[in-house]
Amino acid sequence: MNLNDIKDIQEYVRGIDKKMCPHFLATHPRVADYYDMLKSEICMIEHQKTYSFIERMRLLLNLDAKLQILLGLSTAQEEIIDSFGVSEEELIQIIESDCRTYYRESLGKRTIDDVPWSLICLSDQI
């Protein structure tokens, strides 16, 4: 699947599903439920017309950051995740916290740096 060919958010979510490691979700049922919730939320936002375009984009980017972090965890070696020594609930809390600076860090900035004036950083928080 090519990102340029995506026509709607459901197609995008199907692409994430294909990349997500099923073993990770099978061995982390609470995280799997969280993943399903994120997918539902991202699909609902696409059709939410009470928000402006910018507000919807901010919400979509926030949920996408969470999905990207989760995707990275799912494809990491199981030993790495186990070495964190955290429960599934704590793992979810880490995702919820780290999503606030995901795009800033993706641009090579530090978490203490100002948020770049860029649409991609709409969901980043200080």
Let me know if residue 126 belongs to a domain. no
CB 89 within 8 A of CB 119: no
- Domain coverage including residue 96: 3-121
CA angle 36, 74, 55 (to 5 degrees): 50
Let me know if residue 76 belongs to a domain. yes
Let me know if residue 27 belongs to a domain. yes
Report d(CA 26, CA 64) in Å as an integer. Answer: 21
Long-range pairs, 48-52, Cβ under 8 A, ≥24: none
Residue-wise pLDDT for 44-62, tens only, equals 997 788 989 899 999 999 9
Confidence check: pLDDT of 126 > 60: no
- Give the count of domains, the chain: 1
Residue-wise pLDDT for 8-27, tens only, equals 889 999 999 999 999 889 99
